[in-house]
Amino acid sequence: MATENNLLDIKNLKVTITKKNRPEVSIIKGIDLALPKGEIIGIVGESGSGKSMTMKSLMSILPEDAKMTVDSFSFDGKNLNNERLPGAMIFQDPMTALNPLRTIGYHLIEVVRRYSSVTKQEAKKIAVKELIKVGISLPEKRMTQYPHELSGGMRQRVLIAMALLAKPKILIADEPTTALDVTVQAQILDLIRHLQQEEKLTVVLVTHDFGIVAGMCQSIKVMYQGQIVEEGTTDEIFYEAAHPYTKELLRAIPSGDKNGKLYAVSNQELVSDTINQKGEFQTLSETHRYLS
């Protein structure tokens, strides 16, 4: 049963992949997913743990050879049946979601007109307004430019604008800043946080980076090998993690200590002797404070 505070409630989500002449592979192994309304929820786990597959399941955009099953899938207290989730998703590399041969304006106007019956001129005005909302300067000019003419950060802002034009109730951001440099990363995260409050969105922030979820998320789910191995409030996860995998992930945050060690999560081996340059974060608790 869905609780009142959950926007999304999924029971026993499984995803399998079947390739030609190969046995079926279980990718997501029966997870229960409850996403509280109006929060930013972090999904954390190393590469290959199943974060993206889980999110693609929610959005019904799994690859052709993947099959998803659930025991129940409810949205805002109602069974979603076969309807699409009123959500939008942004990805690590905005280039993959943008057609290099089309202008930014083309992309935005297309989304506006998909969701409301307005003229092209009206759609253009709405699109320009949305570009302003996501902090893009010279929006009229940007409308005429092609994706490659924009910086990575600007492209990600365009994707966020496109996502918002779809009027989602839930925004899934899958490693939205991984491809960006640190300063731009912080700006995009700020934008997501700001929009989440402004639009009263529920946001799912998928990342392998605990540093990012610390300052952004109210709650965290930790994924490992296709399962959620631990979940709780951000404080619970940071200060009272019980699962060994969570502890290892936390231990893998660079200490910033001059003689700090960098550990790999999966095999617990030392992968680097020392971090010589001064890191941004000093200790785990300082990481949390710094980002809060």
Ligand X SMILES: Nc1ncnc2c1ncn2[C@@H]1O[C@H](COP(=O)(O)OP(=O)(O)OP(=O)(O)O)[C@@H](O)[C@H]1O
Q: What are phi and psi of 18, to 5 degrees?
A: -120, 115
Which of 145/225 has CB closer to ligand X? 225
Which of 53/265 has CB closer to ligand X? 53
Strand pairing partners for 202? 170
How far out from the chain centre does Cα 66 lie?
20
Which of 48/152 has CB closer to ligand X? 48
User: Does 63 participate in binding ligand X (rule CB under 6 A)?
Assistant: yes
Q: Rounded to whole angstroms, how far apart are CA atoms 121 and 186? A: 34
User: Does 18 participate in binding ligand X (rule CB under 6 A)?
Assistant: no
On the 0-12 / 13-18 / 19+ scale of CB atoms within 10 A, 122 is middle
Specify the DSSP class assigned to residue 58: H
- The two tokens of residue 234 are 């951000």
Q: Given candidates 5, 18, 26, 47, which one binds ligand X under the rule CB under 6 A? A: 47
Q: Considering the complex, what minimum distance in angstroms separates the CB of residue 21 from ligand X?
A: 14
User: Does 30 participate in binding ligand X (rule CB under 6 A)?
Assistant: no
Q: Considering the complex, what minimum distance in angstroms separates the CB of residue 94 from ligand X?
A: 16
DSSP H helices, 145-230, are 152-165, 182-198, 210-216
Segment lying near ligand X (by CB under 6 A), choices 50-58, 122-130, 134-142, 241-249? 50-58
Q: Given candidates 2, 8, 40, 52, which one binds ligand X under the rule CB under 6 A? A: 52
Q: Rounded to whole angstroms, how far apart are CA atoms 199 and 225? A: 33
Q: Given candidates 40, 44, 49, 230, which one binds ligand X under the rule CB under 6 A? A: 49
Segment lying near ligand X (by CB under 6 A), choices 49-57, 115-123, 187-195, 281-289? 49-57
Q: Given candidates 45, 135, 176, 215, which one binds ligand X under the rule CB under 6 A? A: 45
The footprint of ligand X on this chain (CB under 6 A) covers a number of residues equal to 11
- The two tokens of residue 150 are 């924009």
Q: Rounded to whole angstroms, how far apart are CA atoms 146 and 149? A: 5
Burial call 252-272: b when 16+ CB within 10 Å, e when fewer: bbbbbeeebebbebeeeeeee
Q: Considering the complex, what minimum distance in angstroms separates the CB of residue 261 from ligand X?
A: 24
User: Does 53 participate in binding ligand X (rule CB under 6 A)?
Assistant: yes
Q: Given candidates 2, 7, 27, 214, which one binds ligand X under the rule CB under 6 A? A: 27
Q: Considering the complex, what minimum distance in angstroms separates the CB of residue 150 from ligand X?
A: 24
- The two tokens of residue 219 are 């709650």
Q: Considering the complex, what minimum distance in angstroms separates the CB of residue 27 from ligand X?
A: 4
User: Does 42 participate in binding ligand X (rule CB under 6 A)?
Assistant: no
**Which residues lie below 8 Å from residue 5, measured CB to CB, with a gap of 6+?**
36, 37
Which residues of the shown chain bind ligand X in the complex (CB under 6 A)? 17, 27, 45, 47-53, 63
